[in-house]
Structure 1
């Protein structure tokens, strides 16, 4: 039990870091102008409460599972009250939560994707912002993860989100599949549905952003971008996209 709680906590922390704004000065209006109209991610990035809401939504299922694992062996009014709002069937079903090979595979992918994305933060430095921009003194980064694919931060993000979905939804032994969340709770179905929609929305937006960013960078850096795109033809997935 303790091992899975620890792994779930790591998943939550990585997700929190993924949705935390970079510790740099937000781009100025003139630096964002070359991208034209802001997209959904630009809009969300400009609203702190939406970023916090995204962090909560992404962390919620893993946090619920960890709480059930911690409290299922405790008998008392507090644990009984909490579990009555998290286990929507017989309390004994809480003991069906366990480690599984599917959970470990999804967890490993999610953490690897999150760490890869955070590495991109460090490589880009002050150029890494949630809002698309060509900042003053912008340089075209073509080394490190940017020598593998042209948009590695988005690739890492999508791997994290997909891995999280697999870890917490796809296999046996999870809170969602074992505790009646989808079968007996309207609130549970709503929360999980919102979580899945949020995950897929950001994954789709990552794909959609690639072409627009490539076009702006091509115009900004000309032949340097062309040579880079020839050396690194993949946007997100080598040999596929």
Structure 2
């Protein structure tokens, strides 16, 4: 791959990191415990099953992985003594000239999913305003929002989060990525670290599927006929015309 084409990967990686950061950073402080109690004990479990410190750790780790790949790309494009040292340090399983970081179809598909997911998630933040919390809660003076992305599916922020999660995995673990090409995953410790990080990412959709049913039930109880009317107009939970 030519240096000019490879250089395009740097801004793509940066926007991917920003999209992931937006997706997994709450736009509001945690709700009051009384507001979370309206979802009952099950709601408490689903709210705490992925506590904030895990989200922060995962987000910061993702920044680290993507910044390392950006360094490898720049070191490949601009060879020097320093660049060679960077490549040797960040790619212990490869020679300084054998790191084949590149743009692949897998990366591009992942990037599109991640950036689109981040954009939809941000749109949900703006649409819900103070009502958007990462924990299950019904805020004081809560309103049922049925416009914007919430007129397409009832839980667009969950859809966006799943898109971003899948996209991130494709971006940073697929062929041509730093993790795949550096040799770091050749060791048992490296494979375990990456698998643990990926498993946590895959775990998120499972929690969200459980939350969908709980959230629908609480909103139906809280808003009654208004929710029923919205559900008729917006029958799909996550994917238009599918589910």
TM surpasses 0.5: yes
Equivalent residue for 1:123, pick from 100, 122, 127: 127
Matched, 1:174 2:177: yes
Task: Describe how 1:158-197 pairs up with structure 2 within 5 A.
Answer: 158-170=162-174, 172-182=175-185, 184-197=186-199
CA distance in 1, matches of 2:68, 2:205: 23
CA distance in 2, matches of 1:67, 1:203: 31
Question: Does the Cα contact within 8 Å between 1:41 and 1:131 map onto a contact in 2?
Answer: yes
Matched, 1:157 2:141: no
Q: Give the corresponding residue for 1:100.
A: 104
Equivalent residue for 1:67, pick from 71, 93, 106: 71
Cα RMSD (Å): 2.0
In structure 2, relative to structure 1, the CA distance for the partners of 1:202 and 1:83 (3 Å cut) is: farther
CA distance in 1, matches of 2:33, 2:140: 11
Unaligned 5+ segments in structure 2 are: 1-5
**CA deviation map 1:111-165 (0-9, x unaligned):** 0111111100000000001111111100001111001100000001111111122
Q: Give the corresponding residue for 2:222.
A: 220
Question: Does the Cα contact within 8 Å between 2:23 and 2:117 map onto a contact in 1?
Answer: no
Question: Does the Cα contact within 8 Å between 1:41 and 1:205 map onto a contact in 2?
Answer: no
Question: Does the Cα contact within 8 Å between 2:23 and 2:118 map onto a contact in 1?
Answer: yes
Unaligned 5+ segments in structure 1 are: none
CA distance in 1, matches of 2:160, 2:85: 39
TM-score (norm 2): 0.88
CA distance in 1, matches of 2:128, 2:201: 24
What's the CA shift for 1:79? Answer: 5.3
In structure 2, relative to structure 1, the CA distance for the partners of 1:100 and 1:136 (3 Å cut) is: same
Q: How many residues align?
A: 235
What's the CA shift for 1:90? Answer: 2.3
What's the CA shift for 1:40? Answer: 4.7
**Which moved further from structure 2: 134-143 or 26-35?**
26-35
CA distance in 1, matches of 2:225, 2:187: 57
TM-score (norm 1): 0.89
What's the CA shift for 1:66? Answer: 1.4
CA distance in 1, matches of 2:59, 2:47: 14
Task: Describe how 1:1-241 pairs up with structure 2 within 5 A.
Answer: 1-22=6-27, 24-37=28-41, 38-42=44-48, 44-45=50-51, 47=52, 49-72=53-76, 73-76=78-81, 80=85, 83-94=88-99, 96-170=100-174, 172-182=175-185, 184-241=186-243
**Which moved further from structure 2: 129-138 or 67-76?**
67-76
